[in-house]
Chain A
Amino acid sequence: MIIAVEGRSLAIRRGERLLFSGLDFDLEAGSALALTGANGSGKTSLLRAIAGLIRPESGEVFFRGAADAGVARAEQIHLLGHADGLKGARTARDELVFQAAWLGGGEADRLDRAIERLALAPLLSLEVRRLSAGQRRRLALARLITAPRSLWLLDEPMAPLDTARRELLAGLMQDHLDGGGLIIAAVHDPLPIAAQGLEVGT
């Protein structure tokens, strides 16, 4: 379990451009952080740096409660953006089961809970390429339920969802925080849950 995430004097460079520098943040278990900023200000890059996919130019991210950053990233982090890793030629059920098992979950009761909560039952036998953007997002969100991990890194999680599903996701996020989880989300609209704000960009 991760009990706190701390970013210390982070700077990220993409190509020639320095996106931001000297960025600090602190996040305790049970709370959420909303990253705001203009398009291209580095919100997605910050999420990817926290997940360990890109190396920051300087600074470091610390995960309290995990043996080290590598273990935290391999076992305790969900990263969910618009590139969701779902394969178009596979059925929604195959993808649901794979993502759950790969990320360290996938027990039958968790799968059932995700299917029920996200109303995935009618989609399960369809190929992923037949799903709409919102349906696809719901399928990707299922991994948050099927594989329990403490830190959720969400990139524009609300974007393709309709109003009812946004409320559903808000409920999911609130449950996660109530259970001692942490959420860092890049957003344009305010998050539907109580969250600290962090402006990204120089």
Chain B
Amino acid sequence: MSAAMVLLRRELGLAWGRGGGPLPALAFYAAITLLLPLAAGSDTDRLAPVAVGVAWMVLALACLLSLDRLFERDYEDGGLDLLMTGPLPLELVCAIKCLAQWLAGGAPLALAAPVAAVLLGADIALAPLILACALVGALAFAFIGGIGAALALGARRGGLLVAAIVLPLFCPPVIFGGAALYAAALGSGGVSGLMLLSGWTLAAVALSPLAMAAACRNALS
């Protein structure tokens, strides 16, 4: 088995081992979705116009939840030393960790996104596009979030710091995804927005491992 597969399997195993994988983030997602009607009233005329946007934004927030531990634990227990003396370059190690973060957290949340949107009153015909945007967007959130997690290494109250670093960087994918979904809701097709989102995500997947690895090296030295 190649080293990359060895590491991916371990990261997935660890993600499920510490606190049940995506279940806490899914519970968070469900709770926010339920809170919105309680706070804004259950009138579907009022909820339906924002349903898609809320489902999309809560996905971004839920993706933040487990980010602060992405590198922190390995940094503290010597796992990062072990990963750095292994056969893969640190950039690839970081990319694999983010991929595992997406598989174990982001992708299950993306499956919940269309359900939440439809429950809040979105048109069910939008569900496939919501799912596509959520899957692609969650991948971007995992890789961009990794930069924040690596930069916050060694800082006290790293969780808040991660959110402060990462949320501004979440703006472009949130805008592209939101635009795609609203264009589709107005009947003018959301494919161009989805393309923009995909392009941005590709760039994030390609470039952010460089930043993550540099931040990890900096934290160790």
Contact = CB atoms under 8 A, between A and B. Distances in A.
Contacts of A85: 74, 77-83
Given A51-B85, A77-B85, A78-B85, A83 B17 contact: no
B77 A86 contact: yes
B91 to A, nearest CB: 13
A83 B77 contact: yes
B21 to A, nearest CB: 13
B76 to A, nearest CB: 8
A1 to B, nearest CB: 16
Q: Which of B80, B83, B87 has the most A CB atoms < 10 Å from its CB?
A: B87
Contact of A74 (B80, B87, B221): B87
Interface size class of B (residues with CB under 8 A): 20 to 34
Given A55-B221, A85-B78, A85-B79, A103 B17 contact: no
B81 A53 contact: yes
Contact of A54 (B1, B10, B221): B221
Contacts of B160: none
B86 to A, nearest CB: 5
Interface of B: 1, 3, 6-7, 10, 13-14, 17-18, 73-74, 76-88, 220-221
Nearest to A53: B220
Contacts of B221: 53-55
B27 to A, nearest CB: 20
A121 interface: no
Contacts, number: 76
> Mostly helix, strand, loop or mixed at chain B's interface?
helix
Given A51-B81, A74-B85, A103-B86, A89 B17 contact: yes
Interface in A95-143: 98-99, 101-104
> Mostly helix, strand, loop or mixed at chain A's interface?
loop
A103 B85 contact: yes
Contact of B85 (A73, A82, A84, A89): A73
Contact of A104 (B78, B84, B87): B87
A158 B156 CA distance: 32
A83 B78 contact: yes
A1 B164 CA distance: 46
Interface string A44-84: 00001001111100000000000000000111011101111
